[in-house]
Amino acid sequence: MELTRPVFFVGFMGAGKTSVARRLARTCGVASVDMDTYIERREGKKVKEIFAEGGEEGFRAIETDVLRELGAKPDPLLISCGGGVVVTPANHDVFREAGFVVYLEVTADEAASRISDTSTRPLFQNLEAARARCEERLPLYEAVANVRVSTAGKSVPAIAREVQRIL
């Protein structure tokens, strides 16, 4: 796999974006960056605190800033994005211009079964709301995706191998 530009992983919370990007990074010798972790380091606060202080709007502004910063990096990078990155229209331009987007598909129910700790995810507090949010975002994930990979019933290494074959 010879990457010449960033690859972005998008999909709903619990899709496995961070785990798959990390796994691929290890097997392919390319660096991976988790956007939420990057944001937390940059801001010196947890995502949960950023939401508590500035609301979703405050978080989205930081997220767009960071996406632009990472998208402008010349090195090949595997970037796992937060699940809500697609709700900001300006981010779609970054995806189009900066790299290749892999959409990891998951249903809200499957995501809920994978997420053991919802305390770090302010927007995954109850299943009904998560289902609605997931449904609402489907066309947005599809709009930015260069490829989509179903994650249903697959392990992280299996998903990573599938992505590697595509890249």
Between vectors from CA 65 to CA 37 and to CA 60, what angle results, nearest 5°? 75
Task: Specify the 3-state DSSP secondary structure of 3.
Answer: coil
* Among residues 6, 71, 82, 99, the one that binds ligand S3P under rule CB under 6 A: 82
Interface with ligand S3P, residue 6, by CB under 6 A: no
Site for ligand S3P in 115-144 (CB under 6 A): 121-123
Q: Rg for the chain (alpha carbons), in Å?
A: 15
- Judging by DSSP bridges, how do beta strands 147-150 and 100-105 pair with one another? parallel
**Nearest residue to 102 via CA among 27, 32, 26, 45:** 32
68 is in an annotated binding site: no
Size of the residue set binding ligand S3P (CB under 6 A):
9
Exposure string (b/e) for 1-29, b if CB count within 10 Å is 16 or more? eebeebbbbbbbbbbbbbbbbbbbbeebe
Interface with ligand S3P, residue 1, by CB under 6 A: no
Interface with ligand S3P, residue 50, by CB under 6 A: no
Classify residue 72 by its DSSP letter. T
Q: Which stretch in 23-31, 77-85, 94-102, 155-163 sits in contact with ligand S3P by CB under 6 A?
A: 77-85
* Among residues 20, 28, 32, 36, the one that binds ligand S3P under rule CB under 6 A: 36
**Nearest residue to 164 via CA among 14, 28, 26:** 28
Can you tell me which residue has the tokens 């990078």? 77
* Among residues 77, 84, 102, 104, the one that binds ligand S3P under rule CB under 6 A: 84
* Least distance from ligand S3P to the Cβ atom of residue 66, Å: 10
45 is in an annotated binding site: no
Binding site residues, ligand S3P, CB under 6 A: 13, 36, 47, 82-84, 121-123
Residue list, annotated binding site: 14-19, 36, 60, 83, 121, 137
Binding-site residues from annotation for Mg(2+): 18
